Structure 1
Amino acid sequence: MEQIGMAFLIGGLICLAVQLVIDLTPVTLTAGHVMVGLVTGGAVLSALGWYEPLVQLAGAGATVPLSGFGHALAQGAMRSVDERGLLGALSGGIEATAVGVATAVIFGYTMAVLFDPKPKR
């Protein structure tokens, strides 16, 4: 039960930080800017060794946000570099996140077939 509370707290703090960046940045940020920032931030924090303790503390509260995807990419690339050398930097992140990406594509396609998506007006 204690880790569930930490997951909600840490996940909420990540969301709060992102919302503050969106609200307090003087330029208009698109969803793409925010998403790329989260993935890049997670990868950088992971490379510095600062994201893994957050994952150990909060579990899904740190891995579910997009920063967790960046963390998974960085960890996969670093692990693959240790195993295969420099070429692993190009393949490790993709291998580490392939299941999640494939699942997102399959579910996204399924929802588009089952429901009638309409463009935003």
Structure 2
Amino acid sequence: MQFLWAFLVGGALCLIGQVLIDRTSLTPARILTGFVVAGVVLSAIGLYEPLTEFAGAGATVPLSGFGHLMAQGVRDAVDKEGAIGILTGALSSAAAGIGAAVVLSLTAGLISRPKEK
């Protein structure tokens, strides 16, 4: 059942993004940024944590989950370090994912030898 809920919630988040791409004049970059900001806002008001507990990876893998991760990192860093945590918490909590994305993207680029359009 856990896999089903993860699939349905993750699919619903992706469906929202696809509808925004198809039905609005928003650019994909603005939609992606909106998803991250929505994750931060929903985390700040306490709605995203119950969603991640319910849907697991279906809520943490999309970009809104990245926003939630950054908000949670800021919250934890402020509790531990005080006001300086506002500046350090987001990147500290997401450093492993950001680092992996950079290294894997570089590796894929070197292996595939992309060409300019």
**TM-score bin, normalised by smaller chain:** over 0.9
Report how far residue 24 of structure 1 moved: 2.7
1:61 equivalenced with 2:77 (yes/no): no
2:23 alignment partner in structure 1: 24
Equivalent residues in 2 for 1:78-97 (5 A)? 78-97=75-94
> 2:45 and 2:20 mapped to 1: Cα distance?
22
Report whether the alignment pairs 1:117 with 2:98.
Answer: no
* 2:73/2:89 contact within 8 Å kept: yes
Q: What displacement does 1:20 show?
A: 2.0
**CA-atom RMSD, angstroms?**
1.0
How much has 1:21 moved relative to structure 2?
2.2
The letter for the 1-side match of 2:73 is: G
Residue 69 of structure 1: how far off its partner (Å): 0.3
Provide the rounded CA distance (Å) in 1 between the counterparts of 2:73 and 2:97: 13
Q: Look up the match of 1:105.
A: 102
Shift of the alpha carbon at 1:117?
1.1
Q: What is the DSSP-based 3-state SS (H/G/I as helix, E as strand, rest coil) of the residue aligned with 1:49?
A: coil
Q: Check if 1:37 corresponds to 2:34.
A: yes
TM-score norm. by structure 1 comes to: 0.92
* Matched length: 117
TM-score by length of 2: 0.95
Amino acid aligned to 2:22: D
**Higher mean Cα deviation, 29-38 or 88-97?**
29-38
Q: Which runs of 5+ in 1 are unaligned?
A: none
Alignment check: 8 A CA contact 2:21 2:28 kept = no
Q: CA deviation at 1:98?
A: 0.2
Q: Deviations over 1:64-86 (max 9, x none)?
A: 00100000000000111111111
1:118 CA drift (Å): 2.4
Whichever structure has more helix as a proportion of its residues is: 2
